Homo-oligomer: A and B are copies of this chain.
Amino acid sequence: MTTESRTRRLPPTLEEVAAAAGVSRSTVSRVVNGSTKVSPEVVENVNAAIERLNYVPNRAARSLVNRQTMAIALVVPEETSRFFGDPYFAEVVHGIAHAMESSDYVLNLHVASRFAPNSKTTKYLRDGNVDGAIVVSHHSSDIFLSGLGDTLPVVFGGRPINSDQPNVYYVDVDNAEAAAMGTRHLIGLGRTRIATIAGPADMPAGIDRTAGWHRALAEAGIEHDLIEHGDFTVAGGARAMRALLDRDPSIDAVFVASDLMATGAVTVLRQLGKSIPGDIAIVGFDDSPAATGGDVQLTTVLQPSREMGEKMASMLIARLRGEETDRVYIMGTRLVKRDSA
The residues of A with any CB-CB pair to B shorter than 8 Å are: 1-2, 4-5, 11, 56, 58-64, 69, 71, 74, 80-81, 83-85, 87, 89-91, 93-94, 97, 101, 106-112, 120, 123-124, 127-129, 153, 167, 234-235, 263-264, 267, 270-271, 289, 293-295, 319, 322, 324
Contact = CB atoms under 8 A, between A and B. Distances in A.
Given A4-B153, A90-B81, A106-B124, A64 B74 contact: no
23 contacts: A1-B324, A2-B324, A4-B319, A11-B127, A56-B123, A56-B127, A58-B64, A61-B64, A74-B109, A80-B94, A84-B87, A84-B90, A84-B93, A93-B111, A97-B109, A97-B112, A101-B112, A106-B108, A106-B124, A106-B129, A263-B293, A267-B294, A271-B295
A4 B58 contact: no
Given A64-B61, A81-B289, A107 B106 contact: no
- Do most interface residues of chain A lie in helix, strand or loop, or is the interface mixed? helix
A97 B111 CA distance: 7
Contact of A109 (B64, B87, B109): B109
A63 to B, nearest CB: 4
A317 to B, nearest CB: 13
A69 B106 CA distance: 13
A114 to B, nearest CB: 11
A81 B63 CA distance: 33
A117 B264 CA distance: 43
A48 to B, nearest CB: 18
A35 to B, nearest CB: 22
Given A2-B319, A59-B129, A106-B124, 15 more contacts: A1-B322, A11-B128, A56-B128, A64-B64, A80-B90, A80-B97, A81-B87, A81-B94, A81-B289, A84-B87, A97-B111, A106-B108, A108-B108, A263-B293, A294-B294
A224 to B, nearest CB: 29
Given A60-B64, A322-B2, A111 B84 contact: no
Nearest to A65: B60
Contacts of A293: 234-235, 263-264
